[in-house]
Amino acid sequence: MKQPTFFLSHGGGPWPFMDGDYRQAHAQLEASLQAVPATLPERPKAILMISAHWEEDAFTVMTSPAPGMLYDYGGFPAHTYEVVYAAPGNPALAERVVALIEAAGLPAARDAQRGFDHGAFCTLVPMYREADVPVVQLSLKRGLDPAEHLALGRALNPLRDEGVLILGSGFSFHNLRLYGAQGREPSAQFDGWLQAVLPSPEGREGHLQAWRVAPAARLAHPREEHLLPLMVAAGAAEGDTATCNYHETGFLGGVTASSFRFG
């Protein structure tokens, strides 16, 4: 059965491995991620994860059969630099992804050394805590061109019929200087635009390519790496409607944040 695709807001740092107020601030996001598996048409054979935290000159695919960990954050408790998400890789899927990207005329590369970054493992821990679904991670392409990432998504579309769940992991608002009350208005404005343009496939890709003209666009995303996973998820779901599966108006002191399901 055809799998949907998702753009998931992934929260801050290693939050699933923490306790106290910071973990509690992610409670609504955590509940939305925990709910995803039960909404799928069947258990995925594998997950293809596109994280905001990996950029390369070409779309690069993790090929390790047993990926390690990449602790790409700072200032968190010592134990968060020892956590492990031990999902297996899937070299055969990695090669299938490379073939699809190259067949679409896009640049592809392989990386046998890279481990899961927090955009990947902090999204996956609430969804599949047992780490028993194989995961392949795929990079963004430097330059962060929306059209290229929409095209990447279109190239990956056949995977949905092969039991692969495509997850774009970023954040709908990513301006670290404006978290808190000062981010309330710009995040709400940009989120309102997302809620308006994403549900219908008609004209969606055009809107996403021109995202910079959206209300508060550059306040929401001074640099757009956390938005580009949305392009991949939407491109892979060309023709499908979208629904918002997570929406919060008070995240970390006032930010509006959302996640979306396509198909």
Q: Are strands 255-262 and 164-170 parallel, antiparallel or unpaired?
A: unpaired
pLDDT tens digits, one per residue of 20-50 = 999 999 999 999 999 999 999 999 999 999 9
Most distant CA pair in the chain: distance in Å? 48
The radius of gyration computed from the CA coordinates of the chain, to the nearest angstrom, equals 17
CATH topology of domain 5-262: Protocatechuate 4,5-dioxygenase; Chain B (3.40.830)
- The pLDDT score that the predictor gives to residue 181 is 87
157, two tokens: 């579309």
d(CA 263, CA 260): 10
How many CA atoms lie within 13 Å of 161's alpha carbon, on the beta-carbon side?
A: 3
**CB 191, CB 173: distance < 8 Å:** yes
- Residue 2's alpha-carbon distances to 159, 204, 242, in angstroms, are 9, 21, 15
- The pLDDT score that the predictor gives to residue 130 is 98
**CB 150, CB 59: distance < 8 Å:** no
pLDDT tens digits, one per residue of 74-96 = 999 999 999 999 999 999 999 99
Q: Are strands 135-141 and 255-262 parallel, antiparallel or unpaired?
A: unpaired
Over residues 101-127, mean pLDDT? 98
d(CA 187, CA 117): 25
Averaged confidence pLDDT in the chain: 97
**CB 66, CB 187: distance < 8 Å:** no
DSSP 202: T
Helix segments in the chain, DSSP class H:
21-24, 27-35, 91-103, 118-127, 146-156, 184-197, 204-209, 217-220, 228-235
Helix (H/G/I), strand (E/B), else coil: 134:
coil
Q: What is the pTM of this model?
A: 0.97
- The pLDDT score that the predictor gives to residue 90 is 98
- The pLDDT score that the predictor gives to residue 176 is 84
- The pLDDT score that the predictor gives to residue 253 is 87
Reported confidence tier of residue 179, pLDDT bands at 50, 70, 90: confident
